[in-house]
């Protein structure tokens, strides 16, 4: 079994609508806001190098960090580079989902939260398997969805990907709205996430918002 990582009780929070991170997945980010540059400087000095990715509530017009979904995913800074003008390009490697117990008062310009990992212990185990996954049927739907949305991909690499990498990558990359991406994050297991992403693509193809088909 994969060795579990020691997880801190408090995390810095990066609130970004539509940015979904899942366990064992990678998320590239461009850091340029002063508060998040300061957050990254602090994170790189820590032993865990973890950042909590959380989406703002869709109803929050002001993107207020006090109005967040209470479930997010922690990612370790696994690579970073600095530009000449002081911005960062980083990659987060998803470690585990978490639940926010409360926000922490601090003098930092960025948000910190007290974290509960209890409901997501399986996120740190080995890769998940979807025994009910019908790859051929799924790819038929996926090709129609990509055609309608104008998305491009390397189909050969996509077909060779294992089911967890495939489903998680599509969950992160497809143009679903904030609530839909949050629902994908909170899916109980890989099978339920695959069922949900299938439903979202079918909805888009039969009168949903994406593509404008009626």
Domain residue ranges in the chain: 10-119, 135-205
pLDDT beneath 70: ranges in the chain: 1-5, 58-66, 208-214
Question: pLDDT by residue (tens digit) across 141-177?
Answer: 999 999 999 988 888 888 899 999 999 999 999 999 9
Q: What is the pTM of this model?
A: 0.87
Q: Rounded to an integer, what is the distance from CA 16 to the centroid of its chain?
A: 10
| Assigned CATH for 10-119 | 2.30.130.40
Considering all CA atoms of the chain, what is the largest pairwise distance in Å, rounded to the nearest integer?
A: 53
pLDDT at 130: 84
Let me know the angle formed at the C-alpha of 173 by 148 and 194, rounded to the nearest 5 degrees.
85
Nearest to 13 by CA among 41, 30, 36, 45: 36
Residues 91, 28: contact at Cβ < 8 Å? yes
Question: Which residue from 159, 52, 175 is spatially nearest to 116, judged by alpha carbons?
Answer: 52
DSSP state of 187: -
């Amino acid at each position: 079994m994969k060795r579990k990582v020691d997880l801190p009780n408090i995390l810095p929070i990066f609130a970004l609508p539509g940015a979904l991170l899942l366990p064992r997945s990678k998320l590239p980010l461009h850091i340029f806001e002063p508060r998040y540059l300061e957050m990254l400087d602090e994170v790189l000095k820590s032993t865990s190098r973890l950042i909590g990715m959380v989406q703002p509530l869709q109803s929050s017009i002001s993107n207020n960090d006090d109005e967040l979904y209470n479930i997010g995913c922690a990612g370790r800074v696994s690579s970073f580079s600095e530009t000449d003008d002081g911005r960062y390009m980083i990659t987060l490697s998803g470690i585990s989902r978490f639940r926010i117990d409360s926000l922490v008062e601090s003098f930092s310009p960025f948000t910190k939260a007290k974290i509960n990992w209890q409901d997501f212990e399986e996120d740190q185990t080995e890769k998940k398997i979807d025994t009910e996954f019908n790859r051929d049927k799924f790819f038929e739907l996926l090709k129609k969805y990509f055609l309608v949305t104008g998305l491009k991909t390397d189909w050969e690499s996509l077909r060779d990907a294992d089911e967890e990498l495939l489903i998680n990558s599509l969950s992160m990359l497809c143009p679903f709205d904030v609530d839909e991406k949050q629902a994908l994050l909170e899916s109980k297991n890989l099978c339920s996430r695959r069922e949900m992403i299938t439903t979202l693509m079918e909805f888009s193809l039969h009168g949903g918002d994406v593509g404008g088909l009626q």
